[in-house]
Structure 1
């Protein structure tokens, strides 16, 4: 539980009155920040081996396969709440009794294997009608989602999952259709794992603009975008009225917290490396740290 005493010097940590730690007491110690999840359908595709090797090869080339290799996690809401209580919006760092710490670009890069340099990932604010989004989906994803699956520029993960399951890639699938399938899977990764938001169960279609040219996707600095999004969600979660949280919390929880805060590290005696550093039979030859 965070120390709910006000900072001795409010000139830096001046947002204490609106920070969630200000309401922590013996009566509220069991209140938790609940994680908003949208990733269950992408893990069903991946863990049940419905994603063909041709698609995995594309995902590896654009830099997203490492995210899948890290696997699904069960979120510890109490651990995340404790970290949020220690996060400060003013400094973008966790304030522990031993000092300050934060998630860095280097952490994100080695955990998920995302590119740390390149073009900036930006969002172009566009306003499309449902019919226009349906046309864009047909062009880039290979199907027309029904209007009930489109809401405010979001496409439901159910629509993406159902399309992928009914149009599985094979050795005979055309290269154009493989690329469209890859965009579907990449959009599910973006909406469910790397950039999940409060909508829950959907992905932002504005990311499709970055997936249009498959060969160009790898040129973007996804690492910085993920870190900025994590910082934003941590800052939002510290607000006293917040009870839920979204964002790329895979990085924050087990992988970063277990690695950096040694007292949280589970007992690994007797455990062996599940994913080897070099697997000659795998599509991706070097697994990111989060998968190891």
Structure 2
């Protein structure tokens, strides 16, 4: 059985993925996120057919989960903040609640431009220069949600929660009998705001969860969030981050599927999605500097720096295809004034941390770069989480990503897989100024997929011609550096031949799984 660890350390031929740098390989001993693959010929191409650029169609989309604060909401947040700040911090929702006070201007074209790049198989946006995606790290920093804690659907409930849930349900039923004819969100706030009710805090959190975290109705307070509100009001930490990210992955795949199958340029029936896509839009702004408006100076909560901001960008899809060096791989922790979790994790220099010494911040970070399953609220969706495909977003080196078997038979099994303990003896935390490299093998795999060649001289198909070139080049060598570079290129070819030999040997013995 394969050891369930997050990373492995080994020697590889490494190259810089930056177009502006030389692609001469350098042999290094470096850590990688698992799983990786050594057989590039066996791996799926980086660009599956359905991830190819589609003609931009007139797809009508209603982003119903992209919510803004209603009138009077900020005042209610302020009054609740003065009473329950410490509870929110204990429950891991402090910044997430404050985020709900800020209005983010929706940019449909920007979001849909990125939807075209989405690949459901890899759970990532695929560009000619590689893959990137929205991760649990982004959910923590941008959304303010916790990756640690109990499942949102946990059966464990405090003993005193039964009465609270009963009172919330009675209040909801009474509103449904009023002139609103339903548990209207405005009527709910009018009933509970500054009421001094014993369940005002739970009612406040129920509205917050319904409107901003797990939206599924545009105007009604949903009763499925009542147990979550009750536990959060008691300072019980819940892992909201994976549940929110699951809804985002689900709806990105839904939109991509709709765009892919559309046969006409115009679709009259709008597609409705409920995930909080303001998180996706802010992720784009945080990562793609040329696609974003000028941010504000506030860093906490993260929504504050993007309130009321707007920037019109034309032909988004074609622009980001050429934006490798414009993409911000490590946007969090760069600023010394940034109070986010990852400002404490990412230090001036990289370091190894022993498992026994993992604090809450490091354990959270470990959850972010470990493959897992993301379970949505009520188990309504289970999405695969594959951070090893975007290792450079965590300051780590990138190798060819290996396939990961699903562990999603039931929501309970998927949650146990997500919350399993970290088994690594030690973990490597890269520097906040990390400049990640990729393996020569990865660059070859990526270039084969995109039809370009960054290592033409190192990985030609005709190996015989390459060795002839090497023999002729040795006559013109000027110094030791040229000999070293040529030797590394030769090592790369030998490594490639070893891979092919290993593959053929495994195939002959019948050990290869097809």
When normalised by structure 1's length, the TM-score is 0.67
Structure 2 equivalent of residue 46 of structure 1: 74
Structure 2 equivalent of residue 5 of structure 1: none
Does the alignment pair 1:193 with 2:224?
no
Structure 2 CA distance for partners of 1:264 and 1:77, relative to 1, 3 Å = same
Per-residue deviation at 1:237?
Answer: 2.1
Q: Could you list the runs of 5+ residues in structure 1 that have no partner in the other structure?
A: 1-8, 125-134, 278-285
Cα deviations by residue, 1:68-126 (Å, 9 ceiling, x for unpaired): 323221111111111222112121111123221111111111223322112122288xx
Aligned residue runs from structure 1 range 1-292, under 5 A: 13=48, 16=50, 22=54, 24-25=55-56, 28=57, 31-37=59-65, 39-40=67-68, 42=70, 44-46=72-74, 51-52=79-80, 53-70=82-99, 71-122=102-153, 139-140=167-168, 143-144=171-172, 145-147=174-176, 155-165=183-193, 168=194, 173=196, 177=197, 180-197=199-216, 199-214=217-232, 218-240=236-258, 243-254=271-282, 256-268=283-295, 272-273=297-298
1:100 aligned counterpart, secondary structure = strand
Cα deviations by residue, 1:229-268 (Å, 9 ceiling, x for unpaired): 21112222223276232212121112x1111122213235
Distance 1:156 1:116 in 2: 31
Q: Which protein, 1 or 2, shows the higher relative CO under an 8 Å CA cutoff with sep ≥ 6?
A: 1
Distance 2:299 2:231 in 1: 34
Distance 2:244 2:90 in 1: 18
When normalised by structure 2's length, the TM-score is 0.40
State the number of aligned residues: 240
Conservation of the 8 A alpha-carbon contact between 1:195 and 1:247: yes
Structure 2 CA distance for partners of 1:158 and 1:204, relative to 1, 3 Å = same
Per-residue deviation at 1:227?
Answer: 1.1
Structure 2 CA distance for partners of 1:213 and 1:274, relative to 1, 3 Å = closer
Distance 1:75 1:206 in 2: 27
Distance 2:339 2:170 in 1: 30
Distance 1:247 1:48 in 2: 24
CA RMSD for the aligned pairs?
3.7
